Amino acid sequence: MSATGLKSPADVRDELVTLKHGAGGRAMRRLIVETLAEGFAADQPEGIGLAAMDDGAALRVGDRWLVVTTDSHVVHPIFFPGGDIGRLAVAGTVNDLAMMGAVEPLGLTCAVIVEEGFRRAELERIHRSMHETCREAGATIVTGDTKVMGRGELDGIVINTTGVAFADAVIPDAGLRPGDRLLVTGTIGDHGLALMARRHALQLEGDLRSDVAPINRLVAAALAAAPGAVTAMKDPTRGGLSSALHEMAEKSRVGVVLHEPALPVRSVIRSVAEMLGLDPLHIANEGKAVLGVRPDAADAVLAALRAHPLGREAAIVGECITEHVGRVILDTGLGRRLVGEVEGEPLPRIC
Amino acid sequence: MCLGVPGRVVEVRGQTAVVDFFGVRRETRLDVVDEPVGPGDYILNHVGFAIRKIPEHEIAETLALYELLLREAEHDIMAADVRGEIGATPAVEGPPDV
Amino acid sequence: MSEALLAQGPAELRFRDPAKAHALAAALDTVTREVDHAPVSVMHVCGSHEQSIAKFGLRTILPKGLNVIMGPGCPVCVTDLPEVDEAVVLAQDGRIVASYGDMLKVPGTAKSLADVQAEGGRIAVVYSAAQAVELARDTTDDVVFFASGFETTAVATAAVALGDLPPNFSILSAHKYIPPVMEIVAEMPDSRVEGFLAAGHAAAITGWRIFERFVEKHRVPVVVAGFEPLDILAGLVRLVELVRDRTPRVENMFPRCVTPEGNRNAQRQLWRVFRTQGGRWRGIAHVPNGNLRLRDEFAHVDARRRYEIDVRRLWNHAPSALTQVCICGEIMAGLSAPEHCPLFGKECVPETPVGACMVSSEGTCRIWHQYGGHPDL
């Protein structure tokens, strides 16, 4: 019960599903816990399952782990600077597997639902993209499904991909410990801003492109550089680095301090974000990971990341502390403040 | 109210300017700015309109003004009417430039 | 940011130099201690100042003996319920309502524009008044521009109103005018404000001399400051110096953007199109001359005169019990801080805001909730 004894709007169950339930934040987690995952907890096989709400599930098979993950892709526009829905569908799933420590995908499924009237040529373009991305990741599509819905019953196309891979050790997103260093594999804010510029027709001219890419091989290099030293991993997709760190900090029961001057941000992203009143920390990435690393191994892991083409801008950006559990503190170089958690897609402000 | 962002004019087409904001270009209207604006000028943008032309020399002057504040604060009170003289005198010892 | 970037980057980056910022903070600490009483309280009246203070974490380096209070400087927060209701009704009646993004989630009496959008109403988020006009050109449907913001933003609306407008376009003005509310705050019996930091961008339009009469009348200093960290810190140093010396005057610490007379061209356009009108600001009751409304010569583009807007049909909802507890008004007047509100961070959070201060990105409560307020970091 609240301080005033009054019922909070947040306590009242939403009877209608709205866009905020898909935004990746608190509202979505509540929907999952209360409605979608409800009742399945008792029947989970050994391993990391629904309760963990991690990037995927890890099921024990003999002395190894079978990691499974699934994702549905509804991105708009379907073609954007730097990529398209096909590339996103493959990279997203390959990356979720990699975030659990499974860097060699065994196979991907691909289920496509297409709206009547969709252009064949665009479907081919998407297919080529998926093929190319699979090649980069060393993955392949092993089975799929195809459905067509009537005009107006679906918005263009929806792609679901499921991935499976083995891992010898699973890296949860909840494994951070005080003292661990936090590394990001490259620049932040690229994907979300590229899409936002297109979606809101922001009439900006500048090199904004998505970073969408499969990073399983990059992650493999990091894990090999310091076996056992990577304690937690997550890909900062919806909600950005802020969301990923908040979740990791909360689950791991630590606090996080980030050093703003150390954050790799492209200057064009910095400017556009500032113009729109947005924070790069809240903007989605689709080709990056954040890693928690034991302090004595941080430099080795950083070197391994930077040696890889996708990790040239990797950086150590912060560390974990015992205080301020679940919170992310930003040291701006001038002072300190909290990084807020943002619900829903950030709307550009007036400027 | 919002943080107006400064940018550099790249091109002028009638009442509209193409402005470069640190690597991103955007159109800004010139209807309300009170001075002629041409390529190379800095302007302050607010909700799609340039509200002021920022003279380059003012930037250096502002920074110098702030330096002055620091020196004053370091060396106790100096009356406002003396500041003009201070501005003209060579710098007294102050914090090392980092 | 690296030194290299600072040196070769655009001029504005030089106003974020950490070393200079720390030096100014130390100077501010020194001068605050020199004042003959404690604490020293000063107020700024600009959401963007608070945003900048919060974003750069400046509150952790401000001296303990200095209260920097945020006053009613968030235009979204002070937009009153009936004004939001007018926009809601227009959208419900089938018009396209174009609005700046911040206004979408502001609660009206019964609903916000975002609620109307979820129910099928057509709300278009725009970044400029000019964009709203373009929208009207691309459709045959009626487009109403819900014009929010202070006088700096009103200048843009005025420029657009003076241009060629398509017949399906009209303006619903919710613009506000800041100088009158500074008077109200200065006259509040509980007010402890000893000096004001004035908003640099508004002053870029109005000029700084506009504050001379205020200073003479209320005998408190006003310093015009910009929005970069160094601008704010330097502005505060100068303001506290004036408080210390008991010198009521106006000083311009933002010469690169502000002149004594301001932008006459913009002022001319503004006052050709708008006149002031007394009205309610959310939480502050009546502010004489606090609202900007379209002059009679612009009646033809005034949504209030073009349409019948019946907001009473939205008023059959009893105000929520929570809104009775909300202290946004006191917070906006600088009399209380968010932490004093029993709802802050509990029932009232950005996803479920009770008061407007939690809705707007420039609202005190929202900023404190997001960045940690007076954090012990």
The answer to whether the CB atoms of B1 and C204 lie below 8 A apart is: no
Q: Quick check: A2 pLDDT over 70?
A: no
Of C103, C164, C140, C177, residue with least CA distance to C301: C164
Of A52, A165, A170, A45, residue with least CA distance to A100: A170
Tokens of A74: 């509804």
Confidence (pTM): 0.81
Distance, in Å, from the CA atom of C277 to the CA atom of C296, rounded to the nearest integer, reads 13
Whether the CB-CB separation of A302 and A248 falls below 8 Å is answered with: no
Tokens of B55: 């003279």
Kind and range of the H or E element at B61?
A: helix B56-74
Of A26, A267, A337, which is closest to C372 when you measure between CB atoms?
Answer: A337
Tokens of A32: 């999952």
Distance (Å) from the alpha carbon of C73 to chain B's nearest alpha carbon: 8
- CB–CB contacts below 8 A, A to C: 109
Distance (Å) from the alpha carbon of B94 to chain C's nearest alpha carbon: 10
The answer to whether the CB atoms of C352 and A330 lie below 8 A apart is: no
How many residues in chain C? 377
The answer to whether the CB atoms of C118 and A18 lie below 8 A apart is: yes
Q: Which residue of C has its CA nearest to A330?
A: C57
Q: Using alpha carbons only, what angle is made at residue C291 by residues C287 and C294, rounded to the nearest 5 degrees?
A: 155
Q: What is the dihedral of CA A186, A192, A198, A200, to 10 degrees?
A: -150
The answer to whether the CB atoms of B5 and A205 lie below 8 A apart is: no
Kind and range of the H or E element at A7?
A: none
pLDDT confidence bin for A7, thresholds 50/70/90: low
Tokens of C331: 């917070």
Residues of B in contact with C24 (CB under 8 A): 66, 69-70
Q: What is the DSSP letter of A346?
A: P
pLDDT confidence bin for A347, thresholds 50/70/90: low
Average the pLDDT over each of B32-41, B43-52, C232-241, C278-287 and give the range with the smallest value.
Answer: C278-287
What is the structure's pLDDT at C373? Answer: 67
Q: Which residue of C has its CA nearest to B53?
A: C257
pLDDT confidence bin for C188, thresholds 50/70/90: confident
Of B26, B45, B47, which is closest to A204 when you measure between CB atoms?
Answer: B26
- B61-91: per-residue pLDDT in tens? 776 777 777 666 555 333 333 333 433 333 3
What is the percent of chain C with per-residue pLDDT over 90, rounded to a whole number?
Answer: 58
Q: HEC states along A317-342?
A: EEEEECCCCCCEEEECCCCEEECCCC
- A137-168: per-residue pLDDT in tens? 999 999 999 999 999 999 999 999 999 999 99
- C138-169: per-residue pLDDT in tens? 999 999 999 999 999 999 999 999 999 999 99
CB neighbour list of residue C49: distance below 8 Å, 6 or more residues apart? C70, C73, C197, C199, C225, C227, C232
Written as one string, the DSSP assignment of C45-98 is --HHHHHHHHHTTGGGTS-TTEEEEE-S--HHHHS-HHHHHHHHHHHHTT-EEE
Q: Quick check: B4 pLDDT over 70?
A: no
- C228-255: per-residue pLDDT in tens? 899 999 999 999 999 999 999 999 998 8
Q: Quick check: C324 pLDDT over 70?
A: yes
Q: Which residue of B has its CA nearest to A206?
A: B24
- C303-323: per-residue pLDDT in tens? 999 999 988 888 776 666 777
Distance, in Å, from the CA atom of C44 to the CA atom of C63, rounded to the nearest integer, reads 16
Q: What is the mean pLDDT of chain A?
A: 89
pLDDT confidence bin for C375, thresholds 50/70/90: low
Of A261, A329, A337, which is closest to C54 when you measure between CB atoms?
Answer: A337
What is the percent of chain A with per-residue pLDDT over 70, rounded to a whole number?
Answer: 91
Whether the CB-CB separation of C222 and C193 falls below 8 Å is answered with: no
If one compares A332 and A47, the residue with the highest pLDDT of the two is: A332
Q: Which residue of B has its CA nearest to A208?
A: B24
Q: HEC states along C85-121?
A: HHHHHHHHCCCEEEEEHHHHHCCCCCCCHHHHHHCCC
Distance, in Å, from the CA atom of C12 to the CA atom of B22, rounded to the nearest integer, reads 10
Residues of B in contact with C30 (CB under 8 A): 73-74
Given CB atoms, is A270 within the 8 Å cutoff of chain B? yes
Average the pLDDT over each of A226-230, A242-246, B57-61 and give the range with the smallest value.
Answer: B57-61
Of C47, C155, C264, which is closest to B49 when you measure between CB atoms?
Answer: C155
Distance (Å) from the alpha carbon of B5 to chain C's nearest alpha carbon: 9
Kind and range of the H or E element at C39?
A: none
The answer to whether the CB atoms of C322 and A329 lie below 8 A apart is: no
Phi/psi of residue C342, each to 5°? Answer: -65, -20
What is the structure's pLDDT at B2? Answer: 46
What is the structure's pLDDT at C4? Answer: 33
Distance, in Å, from the CA atom of C242 to the CA atom of C210, rounded to the nearest integer, reads 18
pLDDT confidence bin for C207, thresholds 50/70/90: very high
Whether the CB-CB separation of C138 and C111 falls below 8 Å is answered with: no
Tokens of C35: 């004042």
ipTM metric: 0.79
Phi/psi of residue C259, each to 5°? Answer: -120, 170
Helix (H, G, I), strand (E, B) or coil at A17: coil
CB neighbour list of residue A71: distance below 8 Å, 6 or more residues apart? A89, A92, A93, A96, A160, A161, A162
Give alpha helix (H) positions in A158-215: 190-199
Residue type, A240: G
Q: What is the DSSP letter of A315?
A: E
Mean per-residue pLDDT for A6-10? 53
- C121-137: per-residue pLDDT in tens? 999 988 889 999 999 99
- A200-211: per-residue pLDDT in tens? 666 666 788 999
Distance (Å) from the alpha carbon of B15 to chain C's nearest alpha carbon: 11
Q: Quick check: B98 pLDDT over 60?
A: no
Residue type, C116: V
Q: Is the peptide bond before C288 cis (omega within 30 degrees of 0)?
A: no
Mode of pairing for the β-strands spanning A79-80 and A83-84: antiparallel
What is the structure's pLDDT at B87? Answer: 35
Q: Quick check: C117 pLDDT over 70?
A: yes
Whether the CB-CB separation of A255 and A196 falls below 8 Å is answered with: no
Distance (Å) from the alpha carbon of B2 to chain A's nearest alpha carbon: 6
- A39-92: per-residue pLDDT in tens? 787 778 777 787 777 778 999 999 999 999 999 998 888 999 999 999 999 999
What chains are in contact with B, requiring at least 3 Cβ pairs below 8 Å?
A: A, C
What is the structure's pLDDT at A200? Answer: 66
The answer to whether the CB atoms of B24 and A204 lie below 8 A apart is: yes
Helix (H, G, I), strand (E, B) or coil at A2: coil
What is the structure's pLDDT at B97? Answer: 34
What is the structure's pLDDT at C20? Answer: 87
- CB–CB contacts below 8 A, A to B: 44
Tokens of A68: 């499974």
Q: Quick check: C28 pLDDT over 90?
A: yes
What is the structure's pLDDT at C135? Answer: 95
Residue type, C302: D
Distance, in Å, from the CA atom of A329 to the CA atom of A315, rounded to the nearest integer, reads 18
Distance, in Å, from the CA atom of C301 to the CA atom of C296, rounded to the nearest integer, reads 10
Distance (Å) from the alpha carbon of C20 to chain B's nearest alpha carbon: 8
What is the structure's pLDDT at C336? Answer: 86
CB neighbour list of residue C363: distance below 8 Å, 6 or more residues apart? C47, C74, C76, C77, C356, C357
Q: Quick check: A194 pLDDT over 60?
A: yes
If one compares C365 and B70, the residue with the highest pLDDT of the two is: C365
Q: What is the dihedral of CA A39, A239, A133, A306, to 10 degrees?
A: -120
The answer to whether the CB atoms of A4 and C350 lie below 8 A apart is: no
Distance (Å) from the alpha carbon of C134 to chain A's nearest alpha carbon: 13
Of C70, C23, C24, C9, residue with least CA distance to C374: C70
The answer to whether the CB atoms of A275 and B2 lie below 8 A apart is: no
- C245-299: per-residue pLDDT in tens? 999 999 999 888 899 999 999 999 999 999 999 998 877 778 999 999 999 999 9
> Where is mean pLDDT largest: A150-154, A307-311, C357-361?
A307-311
Given CB atoms, is B28 within the 8 Å cutoff of chain A? no
Tokens of B51: 């509200």
Mean per-residue pLDDT for A167-174? 90
Q: Quick check: C1 pLDDT over 80?
A: no
Kind and range of the H or E element at A10?
A: none
